[in-house]
Structure 1
């Protein structure tokens, strides 16, 4: 059984709840906390789910928006079962030479 951790990024929702509707509202709040990001980086941070995030940026976001990490990012765990293999221990191999025969091509002259 495999377990995979999923998460949802809720920065846009938290910003809207605090009355911050544009990324230009977030830029000065981060600059006050010594986080200097370009507008395009903040746009991606707000609009997309980040794969990597520095702890300094995460702390600055939590401080600026007065929220916790759990508010910004909701985690969930999904369990998946691995498919069972056949009792013989390996995958079944089909011999294509005996099961599928190609049709013989016929070439005809056009004149």
Structure 2
């Protein structure tokens, strides 16, 4: 089984639970903690799920919103079955050669 992590980004929901309905309410709190982002950067952070994030920004968000990482970004580990592929071992090579057709030989008439 192959395992991968799925997560959801709940920044908008956590902000609403804390009474912050606008992006402009978040900017001064982050600036007080040493994080200065433009409003367009914060808008992208609010609207889409980030793939990468600076730990300083993450820590500032957790501090401003007074929540844990699991509140902001709940994660789940999902196991998916793995397709087995031939590895090139003798057993798989013998099985493959057993069903291989014999090459035809064509001779020109003389």
TM-score (norm 1): 0.75
- SS of equivalent to 2:46: helix
Following TM superposition, the consecutive aligned residue runs of length 4 or more in structure 1 with deviations greater than 6 angstroms are none
Cα distance in 2 for residues equivalent to 1:29 and 1:76: 30
Q: How many residues align?
A: 92
Q: Of Structure 1 and Structure 2, which has the larger fraction of its residues in helix?
A: 2
Cα distance in 1 for residues equivalent to 2:85 and 2:30: 53
Cα distance in 2 for residues equivalent to 1:63 and 1:85: 47
1:21-73 residue CA offsets vs partner (Å, 9 max, x unmatched): 11111111101111000001000111111111111101100110111111111
Name the counterpart of 2:6.
6
Name the counterpart of 1:76.
76
Name the counterpart of 1:45.
45
Gaps of 5+ in 1: 94-111
Name the counterpart of 2:35.
35
Gaps of 5+ in 2: 87-91, 101-110
